[in-house]
Amino acid sequence: MIPASPQADSAVGHKPPTIIQGGMGAAVSSWRLASQVAQAGQLGVVSGVGLDLVLARRLQDGDQGGHMRRALAAFPVPAVAARAAKRYFLPEGRAAGRPYAPVPRLAVKQGRRSQELSVLGNFVEVWLAKEGHHGIVGINYLEKVQLATPAAAYGAMLAGVDYVLMGAGLPREIPRLLNQLAGHHSLSFPVTVAGAEPGRFAVALDPFALLGVTLPPLHRPRFLAIVSAHVLAEYLARTEEIRPDGFVIEGPRAGGHNAPPRGKSVLDEFGEPQFGPRDYADIEKVAAIGLPFWLAGAYGTPEGLRAAQAAGAVGIQVGTLFALSSDSNFDPAIRETLVEGTADGTLQVTTDLRGSPTGFPFKVAKVARSLSDADVVAARPRLCDLGFLGVPYLRSNDTVGHRCPSEPEKQFVRKGGAKGDTAGRLCLCNALMTNVGLGQTRATGYVEKPLVTLGADLDGPQRLAVLHPDGWTAHQALAWLLEPIES
């Protein structure tokens, strides 16, 4: 049995949550949903992907309800918050057809503006999720999106985030990063640059230089690594410096990105990969590690919770049930379509091996007028202007560039990418923004289309749709999941 790390003991005095409402990007698990779950005594998790862009766009839409500005007013360095508000806030919102202004991209060498906006975006989301109660709130990041992580995690910690969760890769560097950020230490966070030897490049963050003030030490959040295989959990647990405080073990039916199928991939008649027993972690081996863990991916039912606990898990992480609740931040029209399709059994969720520029399989809900339809994809002008899911690469002149397999093919190949890597790729960054009502309008009038992800298991939502034909809240979903345990 591995002892819990000293940081974990000093982190939160709460008992571990039975239910983790999974992070759902981008901004599907927004502050409102996480707040509702936290108020019900479970772990509410905001998505930490692209929160600089989310903040800038909400401000440009007039900051409905004043929530962004209320949270910005709580930022410990008012001048930093004021700069962002001045740059992006439009009291009347955007004029019809006016595109959102671009935000600075986070690169390996990061300027003040990009770091400030990332710190603020993450601060705002966590601050709002924690406002007015004593429940616990986490933030979810993707390991693949390395450039953003230091500034993003710092912003979340300035707002007192209780848990950081990270999937889509092997998060070795996070325990150390969180320790450094808790002390406001100037740090260097190693990042992978395609074509460069490992360890050559790092993102620098100097909190004092950025904010210009000395702040009291921060509370160090607990860190949960989201992994798909017991061997990855065993590897991370072996060494103290990289050991998380626990694991979320996510199976191949979960929403969002999945781990690729192991071994030679077998496709069915529709071109979908077949996941087999080897794609599921050996839970006995995970339990033998001795760290707390939660099971995710098709566990979002009362029976799923019971089965997970019988296997030694503290509880479960649930996504789809909350994504379809009225507290999620899906565009209401999209959510309505999804709930209707769930209730009448017509909604299909498939695994797209090629769509995501990250190269990971991605669960896609078939929704009319979204990028799940080949004609809608064909009609989209191919471009990449957000770049959250691309990678830095080493140019021939020894500087670092940025490329994404979803950008125009010629451009990608000119940057040294392989042509074959572009086939079937979709612009997730723009589509995910449209899913939450923040889609870009181009100068040509083209409006970015959505691409919806959900888990493959719709049993829970179907049963809740019978209990609550007019839709359900996060509290109702939690009450249903927990009823057998609480009664």
Residues binding ligand FMN (CB under 6 A): 22-25, 28, 47, 49, 140, 142, 167, 226, 250, 253-256, 296-298, 300, 317-320, 323, 453-455, 457
Residue 25 CB, shortest distance to ligand FMN, in Å, is 3
In sequence order, which residues have a C-beta less than 8 Å from that of residue 218 and are 6 or more positions away? 157, 158, 160, 181, 182, 183, 184
Is there a contact between 188 and 204 (Cβ–Cβ < 8 Å)? yes
What distance in Å separates the CA atoms of residue 452 and residue 379, rounded to the nearest whole number?
Answer: 18
Angle, vertex CA 394, rays to CA 388 and CA 397, nearest 5? 130
CB-nearer residue toward ligand FMN: 116 or 173: 173
Nearest residue to 162 via CA among 141, 138, 132:
138
CB-nearer residue toward ligand FMN: 80 or 478: 478
Tell the residue number behind the tokens 């719709």, with chain if given: 458
**Pairing assessment for the beta strands 315-318 and 19-21 based on DSSP bridges:** parallel
What distance in Å separates the CA atoms of residue 25 and residue 126, rounded to the nearest whole number?
Answer: 14
Nearest residue to 123 via CA among 197, 63, 57, 69:
69
CB-nearer residue toward ligand FMN: 400 or 428: 428
Residue 360 CB, shortest distance to ligand FMN, in Å, is 11
Nearest residue to 67 via CA among 95, 31, 24:
31
Indicate the helix (H) or strand (E) that contains 164. Answer: strand 163-167
Is residue 47 exposed (0-12), middle (13-18) or buried (19+ Cβ within 10 Å)? buried
CB-nearer residue toward ligand FMN: 401 or 455: 455
| Shortest-Cβ-distance residue relative to ligand FMN | 319
Around Cβ 107, how many Cβ atoms within 10 Å? Answer: 15
In sequence order, which residues have a C-beta less than 8 Å from that of residue 240 and are 6 or more positions away? 5
Residue 304 CB, shortest distance to ligand FMN, in Å, is 8
CB-nearer residue toward ligand FMN: 52 or 63: 52
Residue 298 CB, shortest distance to ligand FMN, in Å, is 5
CB-nearer residue toward ligand FMN: 75 or 330: 330
Residue 299 CB, shortest distance to ligand FMN, in Å, is 6
Residue 29 CB, shortest distance to ligand FMN, in Å, is 7
CB-nearer residue toward ligand FMN: 72 or 177: 177
CA atoms within 13 A on the CB side of 459: 13
Torsion region of 63: left, alpha or beta (phi above 0 gives left; psi -120 to 50 gives alpha):
left
Indicate the helix (H) or strand (E) that contains 449. Answer: none
Q: What is the 3-state secondary structure (H, E, C) of 170-216?
A: CCCCHHHHHHHHHCCCCEEEECCCECCCCCCCEEEECHHHHHCCCCC
CB-nearer residue toward ligand FMN: 32 or 184: 32
Residue 153 CB, shortest distance to ligand FMN, in Å, is 15
Residue 45 CB, shortest distance to ligand FMN, in Å, is 7
Residue 26 CB, shortest distance to ligand FMN, in Å, is 7
What distance in Å separates the CA atoms of residue 363 and residue 275, rounded to the nearest whole number?
Answer: 13
Give CA 87 to chain center in angstroms. 26
CB-nearer residue toward ligand FMN: 187 or 371: 371
Residue 268 CB, shortest distance to ligand FMN, in Å, is 20
For the chain, the straight-line distance linking the first and the last C-alpha, in angstroms and rounded, comes to: 32
Binning the chain into helix, strand and coil, the percentages to the nearest 5 are 40, 15, 50
CB-nearer residue toward ligand FMN: 187 or 438: 438
CB-nearer residue toward ligand FMN: 140 or 146: 140
CB-nearer residue toward ligand FMN: 138 or 417: 138
- What are φ and ψ of residue 316, in 5° steps? -135, 155
